[in-house]
């Protein structure tokens, strides 16, 4: 995927804000505060991120992946080579210089998926067929393409002459640099507008490669014996969730031994009151046809800023693949406002990713299979400070004696009867500005409307997901960084990812409970050094 997307619809501003204000919780006015003045300084040129001690005027993330400089958008599915994850992403080295539009593939490597080492551009922006868009890399262990045993092969979209098609690039240096395979496509455009973002898996049982391709409201399936010639075999069609991009296809096994295939794609369902993140279906796949368990998708994230996400294999220490857990990473931005970020002026870059997540298949009380998310376990090895607050009884508003711009907060909230409970993140000293996260009546929510944020329309200030108030408990794990908030409700059953740009001086934290008391149990704050 690459380029400018269409306008989004939106919902009316929630009335809960007025109720919170009447309760004395200090909810900010509806007017978004102006962004702070840009501070001097540029990104460090030699690495993915600076040290954890940021300058006061820096918006660069403390522990999330950020592009070293210039522009980043779509993640590309990481691959495993010699004990390292090779993570590629779309990168424009000419974002500030006024050069030609387009993207290259830049590479970063990691062993723990928290700390990354920049490796520079792997697939160049300027090739015989133009700039390269999204696709995927595979390791051709069996030399099916005849490019060498273990060659790394990229199949990605390019759009020369305004006709999207799929092109092949190969590497014989462990994926550090790639060369085009000729100048023609390995999968030409059949005469349609949307024909992009190939995702390829190996079907060992049938001795072939399988591709899923985004084709407007269809996810097309293709077979190939050698990665160089592809045959269309069918497709999965779904209307009502916008144009598909960045598709995904994988098999995963639940703890009870249930194995299902998952078909996913980034999609904009806002016109139908749905998220515009990663839609997915569980179901069966016979190598040619995908049969969903239910007609409507579930969503791996309910926020506004988890787009072009990819999932990838979790490799054990011996290199074997864990069938029960996958990883996932998403671009924390939205095409509706992709260029609005203070990081451009303060640090010379535009591009932040979500934390890598561990994805597992679970079954809820009603028997529905779903994908649960939790932050990657590697974060535990980067904890630099822990603040254990224990159990806290809250009725009304409780400011905490803690200040920070980047941390994790985990707690379990319990109550007998109330209307809402949660927390105010990145709170100003006077309580007027903050990001709200918690539960209200029958939904969980994150609301960024009380701080500077990129949505100038006000239609994407609050994200919601279902919640059963009869449970009278909710677990929350919240990852806060300088321009991002990711909230994991109920052990990752629902996740919300949003970007926001609070003043760097707004470092407070408060808990709230409305219309009754709540106990925030085992409340712990952790900070990280990366």
Q: Which residues form the catalytic set?
A: 74
CB 517 within 8 A of CB 418: yes
Q: Which among 387, 383, 447, 438 has a CA at the least distance from the CA of 415?
A: 438
* Distance (Å, whole) CA 361 – CA 105: 31
Q: In this structure, what token pair is assigned to residue 525?
A: 């704050």
CB 302 within 8 A of CB 492: no
Q: In which residue are the tokens 């919780």 written? A: 25
Q: Which among 439, 435, 443, 441 has a CA at the least distance from the CA of 499?
A: 435
* Distance (Å, whole) CA 363 – CA 312: 21
How many helices (H) and strands (E) the chain has is answered by 2, 32
Q: In which residue are the tokens 């804000």 written? A: 17
DSSP E strand boundaries for 349-468: 349-350, 357-363, 369-375, 383-399, 407-414, 420-427, 435-440, 443-447, 462-466
* Distance (Å, whole) CA 508 – CA 401: 8
Q: In which residue are the tokens 């016109």 written? A: 271
User: Taking the CB of residue 160, how many other CB atoms lie within 10 A of it?
Assistant: 15
CB 275 within 8 A of CB 265: no
* Distance (Å, whole) CA 457 – CA 471: 34
Pairing of strands 420-427, 407-414: unpaired
> Length of the chain in residues, anyone?
530
DSSP for 238-287, please give it: --SS---EEEEEEEEE-TTS-EEEEEEEE---GGGT--SSEEEEEEEE-S
Q: In which residue are the tokens 């006000």 written? A: 458
CB 446 within 8 A of CB 436: yes
* Distance (Å, whole) CA 36 – CA 54: 16
- Residue 173's contacts (CB-CB under 8 Å, 6 or more residues apart) are none
- Three-state DSSP at 530 gives coil
């Amino acid at each position: 995927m690459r380029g400018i997307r269409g306008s989004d619809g939106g919902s009316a501003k929630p009335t809960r804000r007025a109720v919170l204000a009447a309760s004395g919780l200090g909810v900010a006015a509806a007017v978004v505060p102006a962004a702070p003045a840009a501070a001097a300084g540029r990104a460090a040129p030699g690495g993915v991120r600076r040290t954890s001690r940021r300058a006061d005027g820096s918006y660069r993330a403390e522990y999330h992946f950020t592009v070293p400089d210039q522009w980043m958008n779509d993640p590309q599915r990481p691959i495993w080579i010699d004990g390292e994850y090779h993570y590629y992403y779309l990168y424009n080295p000419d974002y500030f210089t006024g050069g030609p539009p387009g993207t290259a593939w830049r590479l970063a490597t990691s062993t723990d998926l928290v700390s990354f080492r920049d490796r520079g551009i792997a697939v160049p922006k300027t090739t015989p067929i133009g700039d390269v868009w999204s696709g995927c890399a595979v390791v051709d262990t069996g030399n099916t393409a005849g490019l060498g045993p273990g060659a790394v092969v990229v199949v990605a979209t390019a759009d020369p002459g305004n006709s999207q098609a799929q092109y092949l690039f190969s590497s014989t240096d462990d994926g550090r640099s790639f060369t085009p395979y000729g100048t023609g496509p390995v999968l030409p455009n059949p005469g349609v507008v949307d024909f992009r973002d190939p995702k390829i898996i190996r079907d060992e049982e049938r001795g072939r490669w399988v591709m899923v391709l985004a084709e407007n409201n269809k996810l097309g399936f293709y077979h190939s014996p050698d990665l160089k010639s592809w045959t269309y075999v069918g497709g999965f069609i779904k209307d009502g969730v916008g144009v598909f991009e960045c598709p995904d296809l994988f098999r995963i096994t639940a703890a009870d031994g249930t194995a299902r295939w998952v078909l996913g794609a980034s999609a904009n369902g806002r016109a139908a009151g749905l998220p515009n993140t990663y839609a997915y279906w569980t179901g069966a796949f016979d190598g040619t046809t995908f049969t969903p368990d239910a007609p409507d998708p579930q969503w791996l994230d309910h926020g506004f800023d988890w787009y072009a996400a990819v999932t990838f294999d979790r490799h054990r220490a011996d290199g074997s693949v864990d069938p029960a857990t996958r990883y996932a990473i998403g671009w924390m931005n939205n095409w509706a406002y992709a260029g609005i970020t203070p990081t451009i002026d303060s640090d010379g870059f535009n591009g932040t990713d979500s934390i890598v997540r561990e994805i597992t298949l679970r079954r809820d009380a009603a028997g529905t299979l779903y994908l649960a998310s939790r932050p990657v376990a590697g974060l535990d090895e980067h904890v630099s400070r822990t603040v254990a607050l224990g159990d806290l009884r809250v009725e009304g508003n409780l400011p905490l004696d803690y200040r920070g711009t980047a941390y994790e907060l985990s707690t379990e909230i319990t109550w007998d009867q109330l209307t809402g409970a949660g927390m105010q993140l990145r709170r100003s000293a006077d309580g007027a500005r903050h990001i709200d996260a918690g539960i209200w009546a029958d939904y969980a929510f994150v609301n960024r409307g009380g701080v500077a944020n990129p949505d100038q329309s006000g239609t994407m200030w609050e994200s919601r997901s279902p919640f059963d108030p009869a449970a009278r408990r909710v677990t929350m794990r919240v990852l806060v960084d300088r321009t991002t908030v990711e909230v994991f409700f109920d052990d990752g059953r629902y996740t919300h990812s949003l970007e926001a740009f609070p003043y760097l001086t707004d470092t407070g934290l408060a808990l709230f409970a409305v219309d009754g008391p709540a106990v925030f149990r085992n409340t712990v704050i952790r900070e990280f050094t990366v």
